Chains A and B, each alone.
Chain A
Amino acid sequence: MTDRQIIELFLHRDESGIAELERQYGTRLTRIAEGFLSREDSEECVNDTWLAAWNHIPPDEPRNLFAYLAVILRNKALNRLKAEQAKKRSVEVVELSEELAACIPDPKADTENEALSSFSDVLNRFLQAESPENRKMFVLRFWYGKSFREIAERFGCSEAKVQKTLNRMKHQLKRKYKKDRNQ
């Protein structure tokens, strides 16, 4: 069943749409959830995601259904971490946002929507041009909120190397964004 057909089921309030959603994307979303949470919590989080999708479609009609679900799931997962008083992790998420915010010039210069749109575009093009290993490090750090140590263990390298790689990428990203804005 295509994404459009699933969305049509949602628009017609046909609950089989949820089952189809689970059938189509359950495994992939669970895997992403496990990037944040324990297996048990991941299953609950994915179920919360189905419910949230049911409550938001309509009025939402996502163009990329899986990406839409993944963002819901990420927010649910982060909220769950905060709710469980995983202070270290939630503090880290804020720190991460500040870390990446350094790459973005003062948003007052643009409207916020423009800043959001243009930087997202630059960011994805930047990631596309990077090597898969660097890209994974970046996404693990900023999307999944992994620590330097966790990333280093995953790649079998030192924490220093991870920090160095990510710092270099942030500087390059900032330069690329500035360059694109000036063009």
Chain B
Amino acid sequence: MSILKKFSKTSILFLLGAVLVLIVVWIWQGGFRDLEVQPQEEEQNEPTTSETPQDMKEAMFYQELFGNWVQCQLCFRKCTIAEGGHGVCRARTNRKGTLYSLVYSMPSAIHIDPIEKEPQLHKLPGTDILCIGTVGCNFQCQHCHNWHLSQASPGELRTYYLPPEKVVELAIKENIPTISYTYNEPTVCYEYLYEVAVLAKEKGIGIIWHSNGAMNPEPLRELLKYTDGVTIDLKGFTEKAYKNSSAELDPVLRTLKIIKEEEIWLEIVNLVIPTINDEEEDIRRMCEWIKKNLGYDIPLHFSRFSPAYKLTNLPPTPIETLEKAYDIAKKVGLQYVTIGNVPGHKYNSTFCPECGMRLIYRIHFQVLENNILDGKCKFCGYEISGMWK
């Protein structure tokens, strides 16, 4: 207090008053209660990680390089990974010269949804799928709807522990005919998906996956042996469109051709984003390419964009643009074209290319009417491509 003796008594009174007010207010507001708040029990909420080697699954496709470096051979990026490092997808790591998957048996999302949400519109309409998603992605789309999963790293998120046999058991228990790997990129959990696919095939459960289509040919062909259907996101037909996803177009086109070659059921989704991939000319070239390389009976879904993730400053896709894209695709000669994410739109439904009657009446993900009998149009008998049983 010697400091304060230099000053008048009023100063001391002032100071005491201030301190008093401070204390009174603090207690009144329950200040001490605040102080007692213990640090949150972190352990409980801490997500489980699979960072210890015995929990991790060795990757199926990679090359050992000199000095404990490895090169992942799974997707077009072919990441060269130093010891302790991760791939671009964040889901694979190099431990002492061995590449491991960090998401094997560790899904972060397990849900039941209609197959129309996938979308796989020509496969068992109106049935449910068991959807599995893990963490990480080899693309970085600025409009990703599932960025919580795709742009995170393993270890950051809560996970379930669900080994392949349990996935198949769950599907059987819930009486779900199809298992789908979706939400984030299934490529990054390749080993998990592959083993589930092998088991599912044995038990008669269908396997589909929704991918950006940038897997390398060798793993792709291996996986397709056990796959029933694939949905590929074709993010546009220009390098500019792929720049928005920090990726490349060519590997995706290669994938599409391989799926066709292996005769696996394929559907394509094209999210039309204003200013990024909505040029009519590009859409026409894309449709022509599909017809020429994949065939006229590949279902193509144009989907409406609405602002998401980082693409927050763009308008939603005009309906007119989607309808124009539909017209272009039809004119080019594609048989099964639909418009998605515009509930109530006429072309949300599938029409018979022969007689023009409505085959599947669809509103968003709900099927209200199905006029396909034994894989044929009920009205004219035209054979409709797809997997109807």
Q: Do A and B bind each other?
A: no
Which positions in A face B, CB cutoff 8 Å?
none
Which positions in B face A, CB cutoff 8 Å?
none
